[in-house]
């Protein structure tokens, strides 16, 4: 069966089989998933392996994600929401660079208003800095933890 290249960009190539019954989408070399997405995926997989089955996450696709769990809080979207032992956990991932931005702490303050158990997940190297910053800015009700697996 003949394949026709329908779309080709610097990021992706889309091919369609002659009979139109198969479409192949191929990412070109050099296109990478971001560190944020890699860490989110690894963290979600770790939760799932620990027996947590009610999980939803933004920006990734896994067969066991429960898309009925809403990620939106206020006018923002969380990276991860899961249930453990009947409690909801609402998580935001931040990269090393984001840990030093005022914007991050303004977002955390805003998100906290809409969350029951808000967890800010950061790289291990930034754990103390972010914990101190949250405390110094008097942002209450935020748990700071590491996403490093």
E-state strands within 23-126 = 23-27, 55-57, 72-73, 76-77, 80-84, 87-93, 118-122
pLDDT of residue 149: 63
Q: For residue 60, give both structure tokens.
A: 């990734």
- CATH T-level topology, domain 35-146: Trna Endonuclease; Chain: A, domain 1 (3.40.1350)
Is there a contact between 93 and 107 (Cβ–Cβ < 8 Å)? no
For residue range 46-100, list pLDDT tens digits in order.
999 999 999 999 988 899 999 999 999 999 999 999 999 999 999 999 989 899 9
Dist CA 126 CA 115 (whole Å) = 23
Q: pTM of whole model > 0.85? A: no
In degrees, to the nearest 5, what angle opens at C-alpha 129 toward C-alphas 123 and 133? 120
Is there a contact between 36 and 95 (Cβ–Cβ < 8 Å)? yes
E-state strands within the chain = 3-8, 12-17, 23-27, 55-57, 72-73, 76-77, 80-84, 87-93, 118-122, 142-146
Q: What residue ranges do the domains of the chain occupy? A: 1-31, 35-146
The owner of tokens 């923002």 is 76
Dist CA 105 CA 111 (whole Å) = 10
Dist CA 107 CA 96 (whole Å) = 16
The residue that leads in pLDDT, 79 or 21, is: 79
pLDDT of residue 38: 84
Edge-to-edge order in the sheet of strand 87-93: 55-57, 80-84, 87-93, 118-122, 142-146
């Amino acid at each position: 069966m003949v394949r026709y290249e329908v779309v080709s960009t610097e990021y992706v190539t889309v091919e369609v089989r002659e009979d139109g019954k198969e479409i192949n989408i191929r990412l070109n070399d050099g296109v990478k998933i971001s560190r944020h997405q890699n860490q989110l995926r690894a963290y979600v997989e770790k939760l799932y392996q620990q027996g947590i089955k009610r999980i939803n996450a933004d920006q990734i696709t896994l067969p066991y994600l429960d898309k009925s769990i809403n990620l939106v809080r206020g006018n923002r979207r969380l990276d991860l929401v899961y249930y453990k032992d009947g409690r909801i956990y609402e998580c935001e991932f931040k990269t090393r660079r984001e840990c030093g931005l005022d914007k991050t702490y303004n977002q955390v303050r805003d998100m906290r208003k809409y969350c029951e158990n808000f967890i800010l997940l950061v790289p291990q190297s930034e754990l103390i800095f972010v914990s101190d910053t949250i405390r110094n800015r008097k942002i209450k009700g935020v748990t700071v933890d590491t996403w490093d697996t």
